[in-house]
Structure 1
Amino acid sequence: MRYKIIETPKKKYRISKKLHSVFFEYFGRVIYDGIWVGKDSEIPNIDGIRLDVIEGCREIGVGAMRWPGGCCADHYHWKNGIGKERYNRHHLLQDPGNPVWRNDFGTDEFLRFCELTGAEPILTANTATGTPEEFLDWYEYVNGPTNTKYGQMRAQNGHEEPYNVKYWGLGNTDENVWHVDFNNPISYAQRYMQFQTLFRAMRDKLYFIGLGLSTRHKLPGWVGQSLNHITQNQKQRGPDALSVHHYLGGAKQGGALCGDAIAYTDDGYYALLDLLERYQYDIDLHRVIIREHTSPKYPATKICFDEWGVWHPEATIENNQNQRQTVRDAIFAALTLHIFYRNSDVVEFAMETQLCNLLQSLFETDGAKCYKTPTFYVMKLFREHAGQYLLPLLPDDVDEDLDTVATISENGEQLTVSIVNRHLYDTKPISLAFAKSAWTVERADVVTADAVRAYNTFEEPERVRDHPFSVPDDMELSIPPHSVVRICLTK
């Protein structure tokens, strides 16, 4: 297989750094143990936040963080999570595995976490059980000057300068269609308009993410009806992005053939990866809806995949929705990111779900112990793609087991190639050629393991991870089976 890489970037296709983002909420051990240990903990921390997780997020260059949900956003009231009194404010949480909600980790702690990692914060407003006035108060708390009621309260709580949060989710994305009965698209559209009305004077300074709907809900007309009502048949500005939730795997509809997290068959391995075409369907659907129901005279509406990932059958309420990850999960993550890169003209955000200890996490923790998952190492490998421009590729053949993306920096001095070989057993020969320039390999790495069903544990924390990959001068490569390769080149 020979790829000719054309070093003329597609200017509309810049890989947003926010495609390498994360989402987390109050389920299970995601926040308490996974992120927050408290300032007095013997576990190394900065202001109560785990140091190993902070450093890991920096290592992979997390672009944005979304919080407090998810489903938790539908009943989160931000005032319970500020001030010293928050430690004594416990209330019921609609999570059978963790029924009492602690408020140790609130708005200031989340925004401190973002500051420590360099990630953009995305705050999700409670449009289900909250009010527009509560949302405006929250905005004032994080962004208002100190001569306002809640800006002064923020200063009293230790942060005098405004946080300047730009990105706001209006509702818990498509999960609302079952969680709080948003089956009526017009009812959500009216709710969206009520919440955004309070921000008309500052609308151009903010970025609002409204509800989209993944194809798994089988309600293809929902998004169009909602968006058309918001834009009043293209006469008004729509949301800056539409959110999509979509989980795939053995625990989700249509995923029975995928099998278990670990003991899957060869057919189950391919069944999961084949499901990824559904992400492309979601993107194609939203492209059409955005084109039909928004006007080009307003800023373009983008797509926000704010929850994506694999959901294996072993992730249940009883085990706090925790699951193991093998090399198959790494391949899944790499192919998913490739889909988002190829659609980066319209896909602006993508949040891996969730950050710690739940579903396709980046970190697993247990007290002071912590290890990084196969998905973490893929995001580490792909960090160089962020901020670069997609390049055209001209293959001389078709091989359905190979998936390749190339990007180039804005100054044209850095080029990154990532290659996924999803074949279980075959090494794939690949030749890289460049249309214009001679390039030198700066470094190359591969994520794989000695067996596709290998997974990391606290006892063997690095069985699946990145390793140096050898690239010959003639660019004739041998890509190992079930592997992800990334090559960084310079002129």
Structure 2
Amino acid sequence: MENSVTATARLVVDLDVTGATINRHVYGHFAEHLGRCIYDGFWVGEDSEIENVRGIRSDVVAALRALDIPNLRWPGGCFADEYHWRDGIGPRDERPRVVNSHWGDVVENNHFGTHEFMDLCELLGAEPYIAGNVGSGTVQEMSEWVEYLTRGDDSPMARLRRANGRDEPWKVPFWGLGNEPWGCGGTMSAEQYAYEARKYATFCREHSGNTLMRIAAGANEGDLQWTRALMEALDCVGCTMYGKPVYQAVSFHFYTHSGSGINTEDATAFTTEQYYDTLAYASEVDRILRGHIAVMDTYDPDGRIALVCDEWGTWWNVEEGTNPGFLFQQNTVRDALVAGIHFDAFHRHARRLQIANIAQTLNVLQAMILTDGDAMVLTPTYHVFEMNKGHQDAQSLPVHVLETPSTTARGAELPLVSSSASTKDGKALLSLTHLGAESDLDVSVDLRGRGARVARARVLTGDSTAAFNDVDTPEAVAPAPLEATLVDGILSLRLPPHSFATVELDVD
């Protein structure tokens, strides 16, 4: 059990034993037409006094580029399965207005559509991940959207794209076949959806050299039967396209809370018990990943089908005075530690997990960035992404935890240290998440197999587990230098309570 006395942890990292490459796309993001994520977040309009490029907010773009943002998922979420892409092309003042029935029952003017999204991706240097409409759309509608985006000759959709001002096709590597079909995407059974996924995937064609990863919308958390149904659906005559399975990935969603359910707890007012219960719930992502991977390995031992976690993060009560349908919540040190736990799990399962998307990028749920007029605030979670970006496309390294303090949460033992490591280009990156709410932690890491030198060490924490950044205190939770010594292969450092740290190493 944790107490106020400084605790100790001992780890071993094998610098010379490399594992699977950590796909940079597990650091992906998600932008839905929900609350103030798109409008008043990414999109301020060309006439705004806030600095922008063609209506896209400049400071937000710069902040996300600093994360090396790899991909952006759009337009949903639940919104994807009521979105009809033709509503969002052509002159903005001629686009139809529709009701966003899922999120706040507000009127959507469609000023941010396909061309604006692709412009945003180009400004970010991110690859687009488009979620198509299976719930209320048609196979033809989705097929024509793929053609509109990616075909380069004089086909009907290519001509329509040119008429709307874009001559060359775009590259769109990631294509989602609907969203949460077990819920807001159609309340289907797994078998019903598997049939739809095969059909829709068949008509998502590859045009003009654009290669698609078609992503079948998968399970809610640990629903392994859903994953089993999607894998079984690939075992049929004719279930291949271009010499590969008709869809190339299956997804799942996992949201974190302290145990009483999403949207039932406060983001900033919580007890120590709720704090630990939240981190224990977040740690379940490792078990859920192992479960889905075990099912996939049974049907696909060669790893042709990727696993995708395209919605993850915390889900708390909305902030007082905001629209309940806009899902605006504050972001604390607790949320940052949840992110650290997730990334460690993602790194451990890099062989199969190829994409993940935090929900969401701006002003919604576990956001990277909060905006308030012309002010922009970077959240604690943003800083975890920035400190961890060296893991992108690096080879994972095994981390062995020999000793760690622990506590009891959700009826089980919760280790108070989470860690992962990777290497690339003569460097290594070690990430450490210290979950203890009160105690300092003396960490000793035995670095084996290669010589190493400390290049930089940083730590992220706040005055309390509920500390957060806002317009008045934008750096209450921000990375700070951390003292780390390396003698005879033993890395030593002391972590403050409730902290996330990274150590960058030069290796021989």
| Fold similarity call, TM over 0.5 | yes
Distance 2:252 2:85 in 1: 24
Per the alignment, residue 70 of structure 1 pairs with 77
**2:35·2:103 contact (CA, 8 Å) conserved in 1?**
no
CA distance in 1, matches of 2:24, 2:34: 26
Measure the CA separation in 1 of the matches of 2:25 and 2:260.
26
Asked if 1:37 corresponds to 2:44, the answer is yes
Using the alignment, how far apart are the partners of 1:228 and 1:317 within structure 2? 42
Residue matched to 1:3? 11
5 Å matches for 1:95-114?
95=102, 97-114=104-121
Residue 243 of structure 1: how far off its partner (Å)? 1.1
Q: Which residue is equivalent to 2:492?
A: 476
Return closer, same or farther for 1:18/1:252 CA change in 2, 3 Å cut-off.
Answer: farther
Within a 5 Å distance, the mapping from 1:50-449 to structure 2 comes to 50-85=57-92, 88-95=95-102, 97-172=104-179, 175-199=180-204, 205-215=211-221, 219-232=223-236, 236=240, 237=245, 239-250=247-258, 253=261, 259-294=265-300, 296=302, 300-314=304-318, 317-318=323-324, 320-399=326-405, 400-409=415-424, 411=425, 413-449=426-462
Q: Secondary structure at the match of 1:73?
A: helix
Q: Indicate the SS of the match to 2:34.
A: coil
Which of the pair is proportionally richer in strand? 2
Q: Say if 2:16 and 2:450, in contact at 8 Å, map to a contact too.
A: no
Q: Deviations over 1:31-63 (max 9, x none)?
A: 000110011211011111111110111111111
Is the 2:255–2:314 Cα contact (8 Å) retained in structure 1?
A: yes
Judging changes above 3 Å, is the alpha-carbon distance between structure 1 residues 180 and 192 closer, same or farther for their aligned structure 2 residues? same
Q: Are 2:176 and 2:216, in contact at CA under 8 Å, matched by a contact in 1?
A: yes
Q: Is the 8 Å Cα contact of residues 171 and 210 (structure 2) preserved in structure 1?
A: no
Q: 2: CA distance between counterparts of 1:265 and 1:251?
A: 13
- CA deviations over 1:118-153 (Å, ceiling 9, x no partner): 111001111111111111211111111141222122
Query: Taking every aligned residue pair, what percent have the same amino acid on both sides?
Result: 30
1:300-323 residue CA offsets vs partner (Å, 9 max, x unmatched): 111111000101123685362111
CA distance in 1, matches of 2:199, 2:156: 22
Q: Which residue of 2 aligns with 1:488?
A: 504
Distance 1:135 1:317 in 2: 32
Q: Deviations over 1:172-196 (max 9, x none)?
A: 1xx2212244432222122112212
Deviations 1:407-451 (A, max 9, x none): 100x4x011111111101111111223223322222221111122
Distance 1:181 1:201, change over 3 A: closer
User: Contact 2:134–2:185 (CA<8 Å) still a contact in 1?
Assistant: no
Pair 85,479 (structure 1): closer, same or farther in 2 beyond 3 Å: closer
Task: Supply the distance in 2 between the matched residues of 1:232 and 1:253 (Cα, whole angstroms).
Answer: 38
Query: Which whole-Å deviations, capped at 9, do the CAs of 1:204-263 have from their partners, x for residues lacking one?
Result: 9211100220346xx54233224312432997525321111111215863897xx52111
1:87 Cα deviation from its structure 2 partner: 5.2
Q: Supply the AA of the counterpart residue of 1:151.
A: A
Separation of aligned partners in 2, 1:363 and 1:271: 25
Q: Structure 1: which 5+ residue stretches go unaligned?
A: none
Letter in 1 for 2:144: D
Greater helix percent: which structure? Answer: 1
Query: Structure 1 residue 291: deviation in Å?
Result: 2.3
TM-score by length of structure 1 reads 0.92
Shift of 1:201: 6.7
Q: Do 1:233 and 1:293's aligned partners in 2 also have CA atoms closer than 8 Å?
A: no
Q: CA deviation at 1:106?
A: 0.6
Q: CA–CA distance in 2 between the matches of 1:375 and 1:333?
A: 7
Distance in 1 (alpha carbons) for counterparts of 2:124 and 2:12: 37
CA distance in 2, matches of 1:270, 1:255: 18
Q: Secondary structure of the residue that 2:501 maps to in structure 1? A: strand
* 8 A contact 1:87–1:104 mirrored in 2: no
AA partner of residue 420 (structure 1): T
**Deviation digits for residues 354-387 of structure 1 (CA, Å, limit 9, x no counterpart):** 1111110111112211101111011011011111
Residue 451 of structure 1 corresponds to 464
Shift of 1:2: 3.0
Instruction: Name the Cα RMSD after superposition.
Output: 2.3
Corresponding residue SS for 2:183:
helix
Mean alpha-carbon deviation: is it higher for 225-234 or for 303-312?
225-234
What's the offset of the Cα at 1:156?
Answer: 3.1
Contact 2:202 2:246 (8 Å CA) reproduced: no
Q: Distance in 2 between matches of 1:176 and 1:235?
A: 21
Cα offsets for 1:257-283 (capped at 9, x unmatched):
xx5211111111101000023312321
In the alignment, the residues of structure 2 paired with residue 290 and residue 86 of structure 1 have an alpha-carbon distance, to the nearest angstrom, of 47
Moved more, 177-186 or 101-110: 177-186
Q: How far apart, CA to CA, are the structure 2 residues paired with 1:127 and 1:403? A: 38
Distance 1:181 1:137, change over 3 A: closer
| Counterpart for residue 3 of structure 2 | none
2:251 and 2:309 in contact (8 A); partners too? yes
Tell me: CA distance 1:270–1:286, structure 2 relative to 1, closer, same or farther (3 Å).
same
Match in the other structure for 2:5:
none
Count of residue correspondences: 480
CA distance in 1, matches of 2:289, 2:427: 29
1:10: how far off?
3.1
In the superposition, the TM-score normalised over structure 2's length comes to 0.89
Q: Decide whether the 8 Å contact of 1:87 with 1:102 is kept in 2.
A: no
